[in-house]
Structures are given as structure tokens and as C-alpha cells.
Structure 1
Amino acid sequence: MGWYHINIVLLFLTCYNVEVQGTSNGQRTDTDVSGGVDDIREGTELRLLVSSLLERQERQETRLRQLERTVSGHVEDLRRKDVRIGLLERELHDLKEASNPTIGHVTKHLSNVSTTNVNPYPQEYSGNPDTPKQVPAGHPDGSVPTKSIRLAPVDPSGPNAFSASLTTSLNLHPGLIMVFDHVLLDTDSSYNTGDGVYQVPVSGVYVFTWISTGETEDFIFLELIVNGSPRAATTSDTYMGGSWDSATGLVLVHVSAGDHVSIRSAASGRVRSVPHQTTPMFSGWRIA
């Protein structure tokens, strides 16, 4: 486009020079001399104007090329964003499909979770199906810890077993739910290290066992409770300073899916946990 304008200007200047040259070859008068000076002046101004126009045209073309490069860069950015959006949409679709199998199980699980508050010493479980399941209180202020929601599907034919240990010594008081903070085995992700509650994944007959060692002269009374109701208990008696006394409990219990099982203290004392010496444990597994 620039070369086209330059050729026109050169053609114009050539014709103008020919005309001036022809005039100079003829007979000159004073009028002709005066006119020639004016023509030279006009020619100089014309050249300056043409030069200015050519410079402006060049700047416009440079600006146009810059705009074309900018637009091209924006188009490429939009193309990359479209590709990224497509990948994110496919990932979201895959996540939705992966989560669909667990929706039914979560709904059933939520229907079994109770939010009923109880005192540290609830009444015996009546066995009446109309009686709501109770969650044992595990804090001195009587607040009920929140039970986590299990998202993994449960295999009814699986082993349905768990085992957890206490990694540090623990001071007890009446009504305290012992929280065994280290999970050794949990086939159904049913034991909660936040509140010490095992939520039964499948109805059946279960074996529950627990072991503890007392390190003070206080009696250590521990109970296995199901939905806030005691089912079995153990006592350890450290009768001399510096000695320890251990106790182990084992019981068979028929429980239903969604029942809450935990170990509760009925008195004050201190349970000892020392690596390679003694480790409090809480375990259970379904046998039928």
C-alpha cells in the first residue's frame, strides 16, 4: 500500500520537473523569472507535504501491523481458554459419575444418624424400636461430639472389623468417652478418631474387646456402651504406688446398622499408654 502511494508521488514529481525544464528551455521574461521562483517555492512545499503524508502513512501501517499482532494474540488466548474449559467440563462430568454410586448409601447412612442429646448416665436401652438411638456425651459440658459421615460403600459380606489404640496417657472422669486416636484397622471407615465412636456398618453379632492399664491408685471403671446403654464393664485396681494394673473386656453383642458403640469411663483415674510397655486398645468385628 505504501509503495503504491510512493509511485504516484514520483510520477507527479517527474511530470512537474519535465514541465519546469520545458519552461526553462524557452525565452524567459521578467514575469517568467518571477513565476519560476514561485513554482520552485510551491514545489518545495509540495515535496514537504508529500513527505509528511508518506511518514504518516508509514506510521499508520506500523500501527495497523501492531493491532493485527495484538488481535492474533487475543484469538490464540481465547482458543486456549476454550480448550481448558472443555477439559474442566469433562473432569466435572467424570466426578459426578464417580459420586453417583455413593448417593444411595449416604442417604441411608444419614437416616441412621441420631442427634439426640443425653446425660453422662443414660437409662438402660429399652429395646423399643420407637425409642431413638442415643449418642453418648463425651465432653464435660455435656455437648455431643459430631459423628463423621462414612462415604465409602459397605460390603455386607466383608469382615466388618476395626481396631484402634490410644497413643498417649489419658486422665479420666465420669462420663468421658475414651477416644482411641490411632486406627490400626478399619475395613469400613466406621471408627471416628474425633469422638471415639464406632458406627456399626452392618447388622449382626459382633465381638467387642478393650484393654486398659491404670497407673494411679484410683479404680479404673470402663464400660462398653451401645447407643448410650452399658453392655459390659471392666475394673482395674492399682493398690500400691508405682504399680500398674490392667484389665481386658470381651463381649458378644447383637447390634444394628447405624448403632453407636464406644468405651466410657465411670470414674476418675489415669489410663497409661507407653510405647513398648502398655497400649490401651478398642477393637471389634462381626461374626454373624
Structure 2
Amino acid sequence: MADMLVIVLVLCLCRELEGAVPQQRDQPQQWTEFETSLNQRLATMERQLTDKDVQIRNLETKLESHITVYSKYVTDNEREIQKKNIEINQLKERVRILTQKVNCVSSQDTYNDESVPTSDAVQINSDQTITGSESSERKSPRHRQTRVTQPSSVVAFHSELTQEPAVSKGNTVVFNHETLDEGQGYNPVDGIYIVPETGTYVFVWVMFAEFRQHIQTLLMVNGAVRGSSFSDAQEVHDLHQATSVVVLKVNQGDHVFIKVGHTSVTSVTFHYDRNYNGASTFSGWKLT
């Protein structure tokens, strides 16, 4: 009986060993498949991380580009605001000058009303008379544009640019500070000289180019170029002065002014330093 039990146990053990052999043979293949799957997943994750890094770098580049653009936009706006502030100050100065001129004209009109006879006709020359209504028109605030001076009187003007305005190409340079105006021809509000008498005139203008700029200025008569000047300080950190003289035959009522021509920048600035360098000026006088 004991021998039978031993035999049975041996047979059972052999069967278990036979069943275990295939399992041990299949185990390396399962580990290989698991390892392959794991490697594939890790490779996929690495590719995803690489793609994310590329996306992050692209976003950082775009962000830097946007920051650069917006910084330039802010800087340009700040410069534009500064220009607008300068223009506002110029307008305020023009209003102040215009108010002074209106007050001056009003005072002259009051004096003329008291000194001119109240008759219906006012004697102007020995061979010319105008009515009272025409006399009122000649004394309007714009009477200086049509004023006729005596041929023997002195006709001359001189004005300075005591500011540093930003002037664009094609615009008139307004010399805002008038120091002489015999003949009442120059207007410091718009920078235009209206010729009071027909004759031969000398016109002189002096311009200062700001650092690192070149400026061409033109002498205009009724919209036509009659003279040119060029002040060049573009290649050096220095101030360059240009002076031009033109002798012209002009008629009464002609409009003479200085206009900006070619420039190195969009809006040029004329240098002003009365105590050291000087100022840009515009002058003229009648020869005959």
C-alpha cells in the first residue's frame, strides 16, 4: 500500500512538472511584449514632450515679438503725444499773438474814428476819394493785407523763430517773433509776408538744422519756388547754419513765405538757442 502511494505521488509530481514547463517557456515572451509596449509608450511620451517644448519655444518667440511691437507702438505714441503737445503750445502762442494784433488794430481803429472827419467822403489823394463805408472796410482787422504805404516810406521786416516746432515737408515755417515790420506786411501767425508795395526786394532767411538732420527750405512767392537753401548736419553731431539771399521783383499783394522742402526725417526741428547758437530768421526790405 505504501508503495502504491509513493508511485501515485511520483506520477502527480511528474504531471505538475510537465504543466510547469510550458508556463516557464511562455514567461520570457510575455516580458518581452511588456517591455516592448513600455518602450513604445515611453517613446511616445518623449515625442509629446519634445513637441510641447517646441510649442513653448514658439509661444515664447511670438510673445517676444508682440512685446517688441507693442513697445514700439507705445514709444511711437509717446513721441506723437509730444509732437501734439508742441503743436498745442504753438497754437496757444499764435492765439496770443493774434489777440495782441486784434487789440492793436482795435486801438488803431478807435484812434482813426476819432481823428477822421465824419463826412460821407474821406480824401485819400488829390485825385482819389472813398466813401465812409469804404473807409470802414479799409479799417477792418485784415486792413494791413491791402494797406498801401506811401512810396517814400521805408518797407522792411524781420522775424525770428524762437521755438523749436516740428515742421513736416511742404509746410510753412512760421517765424513767430516779429521784431520789425515797416509796412505792416508780415504776419507771425501764419508766417506769410504780403508785399505792401510793388518793387525790387531783398529776402534773407537763416536756418539752423538740428543734430543729425538735413533740411531744405524754399522761398515761395505765390506758391512758386524762387529760392532754395540747404542745411546739412545729418552725418555729424553738430549744428549747421545755412543763409540764403534772393533779390526779386514782386508786386503788391504777393505772398512770400518759407516752406520746408526735402528733409532727412518726417518732421524736422529747427534749432533755437538765442544765448549761444542763435535763431532761424526771415527778413526782407524794399530796394526800389
TM-score by length of 1: 0.50
Larger % of helix: which?
A: 2
TM-score by length of 2: 0.50
